[in-house]
Structure formats: C-alpha cells, structure tokens
Amino acid sequence: MNRTKGDEEEYWNSSKFKAFTFDDEDDELSQLKESKRAVNSLRDFVDDDDDDDLERVSWSGEPVGSISWSIKETASNSGSNHEREQLKNRNSFSSYAQLPKPASTYSLSSFFRGRTRPGSFQSLSDALSDTPAKSYAPELGRPKGEYRDYSNDWSPSDTVRRLRKGKVCSLERFRSLQDKLQLLEEAVSMHDGNVITAVLIFLKRTLSKEILFRELEVRQVALRHLIHFLKEIGDQKLLWDLFRFLDRTEELALTHYREHLNIQDPEKRKEFLKTCIGLPFSAEDSAHIQDHYTLLERQIIIEANDRHLESAGQTEIFRKHPRKASILNMPLVTTLFYSCFYHYTEAEGTFSSPVNLKKTFKIPEKQYVLTALAARAKLRAWHDVDALFTTKNWLGYTKKRAPIGFHRVVEILHKNSAPVQILQEYVNLVEDVDTKLNLATKFKCHDVVIDTCRDLKDRQQLLAYRSKVDKGSAEEEKIDAILNSSQIRWKN
C-alpha cells in the first residue's frame, strides 16, 4: 500500500497512547470544566441540601464552587504534588507508576459546592488525598522514631536496657576502650547474665587478649562469666591464655585434663593422661590423675584378655553370662564389680583380680564388701557370700562379721532372690531386736520371728503373728507348742 510522505510522518508521530508529562494539570482543568457543564445540565437530578442556597466564600473572597476557585484549588494541589515528585527524584528513585484513579463515589456537584460538614461529600483536594490507592513507589517518609532501633545514638545504659528486653541493638558504635568498659560496667550493674555475656562476646571480638584480660582481672563478676562462657563453647586455647595471665596454674591443669573426655581411642586417651601426671595439680588431684591413668591401663589389658576368652568360648563364666558392655573407660567401682563377677577366684598377682584392684587403688573395706556381695549374689554363689563374711581370730575360731551391717546384707540377698534359709541365717545375725523382727516379718522368715518372740517372752506378739501364718502349717504348730509350754513365763 502506497503512502505519501506526509501520511507516513503522521503515522509514525501519532499514537493512541499518551505519554506521561508533568503538564497533565491542563487536561485535568479541562475535565473539570466539562464536569461543571455536565453538573449544570443534571442539576435537577441531584438532591440538594437545605443550605444549597447559601453562597460560600473562600479566604480570597471568591465563591466556593466557582470555576476560578476550583482552578486555584487544583493548581495549588498540583504544585504541592510537583514538589513531592521533585523530592522523590532527588532521592534517586528513577521512575514510578502513575497512581491509578479509583472509581469515584463522590457527587460531582459537591466538588464545586465545597461541602465540608459531617455527612456531606468532601472537597476535591480532600478526596484526592484520602484516595485508598495502592502506591507503587517506595515509601520515603517513614517516621524517624521507627529507625531508632538501628541508630547509633544510644547511651551505654540505654543499650544495656534494650539488650535486656531482647531488642535489636548494635554495639559497634562503642569504639573507644572507655566506652566499651562503661558498657561492661552497665551490664554488670544490671545483674543479667545474658546481657553480660553478650557484651563480653563483643569485647572478646574487638579487644586484644592482653587488654581484655587486664581489664577483666579487676572485674571479677565479668571474669567469671567469661570463664564459664569459654568452657561452654570449648575455646580451650583462649581459656589457657586467660589462666596463664591470671597465674591460676591449677585451673589451667584441670582445663587441660578435661580434654581427655574428647578422646575416644583408649590408647590415645591413656597417652594423654600420662602427659597430665606432671601438671601442677594439688596433691590430692595428682593422686587421682595417677589412679585414672593406672585404671585405664588395667582396663585395656583386661578388655583384650576377656575379649579373647569370650570369643574362644572355653571359659564357663563367659558362656553362661556373656558380657553386655566393654570395661573400657568405666569407673573404678564398676571395674571392681566386673572383676568380682568374672575374675573373683583369680590370684592376687593378676591385673584382673579383685584383691589386686583393692590394694592398688586403696578401695575401702566397706566398698569392697558391698561390691563383692552384689556381684556374687547376682551369680547366686552363696558359698562365696558366706566366705566373704567369715573371719578367723588368732585362736582359730570363726566368726561372721559384716562391715556394712547385716541388715544391708539381708536386703541385698533378698533383692537377688536368695533362699529363705540363707535369709534367716543373716537375719539372725542382726543385733538390734526391733530391726531383726521387722526384717524377718518383711521377708517372711517365720522361724526367726517365732524364736525372737519366744526369747522376748512376748505372748501377745506371738499370738498376733499366729494369724499371719498359714493354717495347719509347721509354723502354726510350732507357735501352738510354744504357747502351750509350761516352761515359759510370759510377760503378758
């Protein structure tokens, strides 16, 4: 299709879409004029209020609602809008979408008549300002108070109070040493451990070790918090440096000793414990470190030997009672119980002998008897239990003696389901009569109760116990025989 040159220029220079300009105010004025004419033609269809016949005058003396008044109102609003647009451009926001014009629900006549009383329509400027249109440009005018959480004008006391309330607060503004120390003093005076720790983390990050240690040396509360924090996070290197600076060698040694907990390999742990022996511990702690090293050394030997015997299947004790766990890294009492359970009859010269363990680690007699009794009773080795409490004097006479008390022996035996005959034997060895009767009644050692009541010549208690035994049993017959005996002079 052939076109002339003029037609082509008109085609390329024309468009049905209108570009955005700042001169749209003229178009709005023309639209207002057309709206005025439309209102005048439709005045009969608009319901006027009672005060429509009153002429309203603006501050300039012009009637409210006139064309000149509307033009000035629109021009003033456009000027303020133009200033806001320039402010947005200065804030480097390059472009924004024009606000869409919502569907108006206001009467056109009210725009020109300036109704402002309650219940009436708003003016054009008020209507435009109250338009609930969605803004596509970034918000620029947020209140300054909303940014105070991120500002740098907080004092140390204000900062500490905000930290205590859990609010976001930057500590980076405190750059000088004096400001940082003042912040720490405020945190300590607040008596809040979390706030003190937060400030100490900031000081640890921003101060050298020498300055930090020097200032904390005279602030014991903050120093204790830092030591606890370093222990919790496992920063052993900084903790060692701190103890060296404070000349607290014993705590330094203990801190080094605790590192063995992080070593899983038994051989490596043993070698590490060996390096701890020469550290500056107290006399008591040095003995414990030596015992720990010796115990682990024994456990490694016992574990290797028992694993071999268990896998070979040639030892009866391991066949009947397979091991449930390794002995490595177990406490001394657990190791003693293990030894009394699997190696009770071994000679004293072996590492796994209970007697050897007792002498090497100076285990008290009560602890040894209690542990051995629990182990042998669990195996129902009653002969070993009897031998454990049998002693000989220098004349060769035997006597039963229990350093833990026979009442505890009875309880342990009953817990391991010992026969009644065994229980009665040890209940009879209890010296206190009331305790003996209570234990005999509790564990149904009938003969002990009957004989004790007979010895006490307590007829009433014997009669009361007669009702607790089975009818026609040997115990009932024994009680009847005692009650009918004429040789006993009863107290009651």
Average pLDDT over residues 409-427: 94
Which tokens in the block code for residue 308? Answer: 């071999």
Place of tokens 């320039």: 86
Q: Where are the domains of the chain?
A: 154-247, 260-363, 380-444, 445-491
Q: What is the pLDDT of residue 234?
A: 81
Place of tokens 């409490």: 389
Q: Cα separations (Å) of 359 from 301, 303, 363, 364, 365?
A: 18, 20, 7, 9, 10
Average pLDDT over residues 323-330: 92
Helices and strands (H, E) in the chain, number of each type? 25, 2
Beta bridge partners of 57: 63
Evaluate if residue 372 carries a pLDDT over 50.
yes
Q: How confident is the model at residue 389 (pLDDT cuts 50, 70, 90)?
A: very high
For 391, the enclosing helix (H) or strand (E) is strand 390-392
For 400, the enclosing helix (H) or strand (E) is strand 398-400
DSSP string, 311-370: HHT--HHHHHS---S--TT--HHHHHHHHHHHSTTS-TTSTT-HHHHHHHTT--HHHHHH
Beta bridge partners of 398: 392
Q: How confident is the model at residue 468 (pLDDT cuts 50, 70, 90)?
A: confident
Which tokens in the block code for residue 207? Answer: 């101060």
Q: Cα separations (Å) of 396 from 17, 86, 399?
A: 126, 117, 10
Q: Regarding predicted confidence, which is higher, 103 or 250?
A: 250
Is residue 290 packed enough to be buried (19+ CB in 10 Å), middle (13-18) or exposed (0-12)?
Answer: middle
Note whether 303 and 316 are within 8 A (CB): no
Note whether 239 and 229 are within 8 A (CB): no
Q: How confident is the model at residue 249 (pLDDT cuts 50, 70, 90)?
A: confident
Evaluate if residue 101 carries a pLDDT over 50.
no
Q: What is the pLDDT of residue 2?
A: 56
Q: How confident is the model at residue 395 (pLDDT cuts 50, 70, 90)?
A: confident
46-55, 167-176, 268-277, 434-443: which has the minimum mean pLDDT?
46-55
Q: Cα separations (Å) of 168 from 56, 147, 162, 465?
A: 55, 11, 7, 76
- Kindly give the residue spans of alpha helices, DSSP state H, lying in 14-123: 24-41, 67-90, 108-113
Mean pLDDT, the chain, rounded, equals 78
Q: Regarding predicted confidence, which is higher, 154 or 263?
A: 263
pTM: predicted TM-score of the whole model, two decimal places:
0.59
Please name the residues in contact with 69: beta carbons below 8 A apart, sequence gap of 6 or more: 58, 60, 62, 63, 114
Residues 126-185 pLDDT 10s: 444 444 444 444 444 445 544 444 555 678 888 888 888 888 888 888 889 998 999 999
Residue (of 140, 128, 20) closest to 80 by Cα position: 128
**Rg value, the chain, Cα:** 49
Note whether 57 and 63 are within 8 A (CB): yes
Q: What is the pLDDT of residue 213?
A: 92
140-149, 222-231, 269-278, 392-401: which has the minimum mean pLDDT?
140-149
Note whether 77 and 125 are within 8 A (CB): yes
The rounded percent of the chain whose pLDDT value lies above 90 is 40
